[in-house]
Chains A and B, each alone.
Chain A
Amino acid sequence: MSTLLRMELSKLFRLASVRFGLALIVVFPLLWAYAPGIFEVYGFFLVSGFQVPALSLLSSMQFLLPLLVAITAAELLGVELAHGTLPTILLRPVTRPQWLAAKLIVLVLYPFVVMAVFLAASLLFGVPYGFGSFVGGTGLGEAGLAGTGAMTPGAALGELVRGYAVAALALVPIGMLSVLFTVVFMNAAGGALATLSTLIFMQLLVVFPRVEPYLLTTQLNAYASPVADLAWVVALILVYAALFAAVSVVLFERKDF
């Protein structure tokens, strides 16, 4: 299993979608750090470097980040189909669940890598605003960017790390869903497209108030949830991830190659 994990990790960072995605999220926070019309459009000024990460996250969590994760997950499987290496690996004494599990584990880690890079890049572009104590909020705590009073650097950083970690966790089921669809279609483009279509469809289901709290897309906003609600949100996200991963493994077990 360690050989498989090493192999998958090394393959992950060779994928075009990963290289492009990481480059994009490194540059993306620049938009908010230097946006000249931010007051005219949104009615506020940035007062601290700790506010850049929240703006980056708010503007990318509904589409850009799910898109990156879905495409990478589909590509991680699809690249084996494109190179024809999947049957070659399965001829070795490696079980199908082991092989897919290695990919799924890497795809659990990937959103955390993405969010760590995203947070680091956002903080980097926040340098001109400084990282001292400030009056206001990080955007990921109570009362958003307005905040509830003075904030210390430690508290601000804590809020950001928690928010980014929850956001990373919320992206995990999207990667699993993309693997599931790629296993079904045995095609990376089909897998990514089906995942994005499902997410868009789910977003439309907000018109059903009883269903809305349980939707996968609702959990994409979990980074701003009060600490008290986090246990429930995390549990729901894990259920989604486990369900999608389990169905992927079961379907993959019976595939012909």
Chain B
Amino acid sequence: MTTPAIEATNLTKSYGGRPVVRDLTFQVNPGEVYALVGPNGAGKTTVIRLVAGLAFPTSGQVRLLGKDPHQHPEVRRSLGAVVEAPAAFYPFLTGRANLQLHADLAGGVEPGRIDEVLGLMELTHAADRKVGVYSLGMRQRLGVAAALLTRPKVLILDEPASGMDPLSLHLVHSVLQQAAQDGTAVLLSTHHLDEVVAYCTRVAILEEGALIDEVNLFDRRERYRARVTQPAQAKALLETSPFVRHVAVRGEDVVFIPASPEAVGSVSVALAQAEIGVLEMSRDIFDLRAYYRDRVAGERARRTGTFPAPRPDGTLPGTRRPTRREGDR
């Protein structure tokens, strides 16, 4: 079994007796992108700092590549991190000199690596300018460049896209996605739900320092939705089909997970052969933003005993509203 790249077990952190992270347990495997989302003050930054070894847990444990980062600081050779927004650098040094300093502290990098990461983050033109004159977005990109410098096995980033324009935002998310595809475990905190939903493996929703939900986006990205004339018959047919791993009915739709992406066409053919009309078929895009809003509102309602205005369908946000998965019959 592979050792998780990041492992937090019953992690709790209190300041002045007030818990800001409560009994948090999660793990991130190599090649996964794990996002921490939650309202401001939910404890995301504290979790990031605990996992990166900058803060000490009140109780619980953190392991990076199987080792406690406080007792084994050498494990940080495999860590790349941005924990400040904007990323912090010496303003009197150039971007290149700052990266050289990081490379020296990390024990050195291969020749040309500094230029490579500067190019990757589109900072070559500004490499020899002092960081003091960098814009917010440039500093953030330099932060990601510094994090990638040592080809880390673990990337930890607190709001890596904070203050960025849409192009830079896309660049950072592309780079993180590529890092994960190369086998790096990525832990990030973010408010950019629309961007992370495209490539995150799992999303942890935090509220008041507690993990209230962990959403597996990997499974959800594989889902398809077909609006058909006879949903019940379609479900019965697809349950026995070798092209489908899972099927459920949601209203007028059947929602299914194909055995492979190529099997979607075969599903369509199978439905047509059974004379079930297919009015529309598309990916079942998961609305993380709505789901998140719902879960946080529900958690707040549960905690405070006050409930927000009901939804148009008469249900209360977060109070056992059927999520898409729960709504599937």
What chain B residues lie within 8 Å of A85 (beta carbons)? Answer: 88-90
* Chain B residues positioned under 8 Å from A7 (CB to CB): 101
Q: Which of B54, B76, B91, B107 contacts A257 (CB 8 A)?
A: B54
Binding site for A on B (CB under 8 A): 49, 52-56, 73-77, 79, 81, 83-84, 87-92, 101-102, 104-107, 146
Contact partner of A91 (CB less than 8 A), chosen from B76, B101, B107, is B76
Does A210 sit within 8 A of B, measured CB to CB? no
Q: Would you call A14 an interface residue if the criterion is a C-beta within 8 Å of the partner chain's C-beta atoms?
A: yes
Chain A residues engaging chain B, CB cutoff 8 angstroms:
3-4, 7, 11, 14, 83-85, 87-95, 254, 256-257
A11 to B329, CA, bound (A): 65
Residue on A nearest B69 in the bound complex, by CB: A91
Judge whether B73 and A95 touch: CB under 8 Å.
yes
Contacts of B105 in A (CB 8 A): 3-4, 89, 92-94
B107 contacts A93, CB within 8 Å? yes
Q: Determine which of A3, A11, A90, A95 lies in contact with B54 in the assembled complex, contact meaning CB atoms within 8 Å.
A: A90
Q: What are 24 inter-chain pairs, A to B, with CB distance below 8 A?
A: A3-B105, A4-B105, A7-B101, A11-B90, A84-B88, A85-B89, A87-B49, A87-B54, A87-B84, A88-B84, A88-B87, A88-B88, A88-B89, A88-B102, A91-B81, A92-B106, A93-B73, A93-B107, A94-B73, A94-B105, A254-B56, A256-B54, A257-B49, A257-B55
- Smallest CB gap from A83: residue in B: B88
Residues of B within 8 A of A92 (CB): 76, 102, 105-106
Using Cβ atoms and an 8 Å threshold, which residues of chain B touch A88? 83-84, 87-89, 102, 146
* A93 in contact with B74 given A14-B92, A256-B49, A257-B49 (CB within 8 Å): yes
Given the known interface contacts A91-B54, A93-B74, A254-B56, the answer about A83 and B90 at a Cβ–Cβ threshold of 8 Å is yes
State in angstroms the CA–CA spacing of A87 and B75 once bound together.
16
Cα of A87 to Cα of B84 in the assembled complex, Å: 8
Q: What distance in Å separates the Cβ of B145 from its nearest Cβ neighbour in chain A?
A: 13
* A257 cross-chain contacts in B, Cβ below 8 A: 49, 54-55
Question: B87 to chain A: which residues have CB within 8 Å?
Answer: 88
CB of A183 to closest CB in B, whole Å: 15
* B77: contacting residue among A14, A89, A90, A93, CB under 8 A: A93
A94 CA to B73 CA, complexed, in Å: 7
A169 to B91, CA, bound (A): 33
5 more CB-based (< 8 A) A-B contacts, given A83-B88, A91-B52, A257-B49: A3-B105, A7-B101, A87-B49, A92-B106, A94-B105
User: Which residues from chain A contact B101 at a C-beta distance below 8 Å?
Assistant: 3, 7
Q: Which residues of A contact B88 (CB under 8 A)?
A: 83-85, 87-88
